[in-house]
């Protein structure tokens, strides 16, 4: 009886160790930087899962998700942040825009979806560099990637909005 209990606990301990390594590879690699570099995961929703926008109207989506974030960044990126709180604001907004760029892809236009997706991926990639620079508190690099991101926002606005909403840093 006691022997089988001990065996059961040993098996349990081994299994949970293995699971821990399999399920949390990033945490064992450690370091802030390495967790950023993780590869994109395939979307894995079970059964009825499908990615669907909450707000289907592109105007509302841009107005409530992108516009306020952009306006805050314009203020926080005007000069190099003096403290942690300043950097935190930039990290939060750059990450929000980079992640939200993925969501634009869920809202394809009637035509030229390829261009649409390219601009969205460009925004995401520049946004990621921007966020990464903000984490490193490198204002020169953050500024460079912030501007590059806005250029990609504008590329889409030029093609799909007849040049309306041209954003400046």
Binding site for ligand HEC (CB under 6 A): 58-59, 62-63, 66-67, 70, 97, 104, 116, 119-120, 123, 149, 153, 156-157, 160-161, 165, 167
**Cβ proximity to ligand HEC, 70 vs 131, nearer residue:** 70
Nearest-CA neighbor of 74 among 167, 138, 137, 145?
A: 167
Rg (CA), the chain: 21
Q: Let me know: does 28 contact 21? Beta carbons within 8 Å.
A: yes
Which whole-number Å values give the CA distances from 65 to 121, 124, 160, in the listed order? Answer: 17, 14, 18
CB of 41 to ligand HEC, least distance (A): 22
Cβ proximity to ligand HEC: between 131 and 139 the closer is 131
Q: What angle do CA 143, 144, 145 make, to 5 degrees?
A: 95
81 versus 104: smaller Cβ distance to ligand HEC: 104
Other beta carbons within 10 Å of 60: 11
Q: Which is closer to ligand HEC, CB of 20 or CB of 163?
A: 163
Find the shortest distance in angstroms from Cβ 161 to ligand HEC: 5
């Amino acid at each position: 009886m006691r022997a089988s209990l001990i065996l059961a606990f040993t098996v349990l301990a081994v299994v949970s160790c293995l699971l821990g390594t399999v399920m949390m590879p990033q945490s064992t690699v450690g370091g802030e930087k390495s967790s950023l570099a993780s590869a994109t995961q395939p979307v894995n929703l079970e059964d009825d899962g499908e990615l669907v926008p909450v707000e289907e109207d592109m105007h509302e989506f841009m107005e409530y998700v992108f516009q306020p974030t952009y306006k805050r960044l314009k203020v926080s990126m005007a000069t190099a942040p003096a403290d942690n709180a300043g950097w935190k604001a930039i990290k939060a907004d750059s990450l929000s825009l980079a992640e939200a760029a993925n969501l634009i892809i869920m809202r394809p236009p009637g035509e030229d979806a390829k261009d649409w997706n390219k601009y969205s991926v460009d925004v995401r990639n520049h946004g990621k560099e921007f966020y990464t620079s903000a984490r490193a508190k490198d204002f020169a690099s953050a500024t460079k990637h912030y501007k590059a991101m806005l250029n990609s926002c504008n590329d889409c606005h030029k093609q799909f909005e007849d040049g309306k909403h041209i954003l400046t840093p």
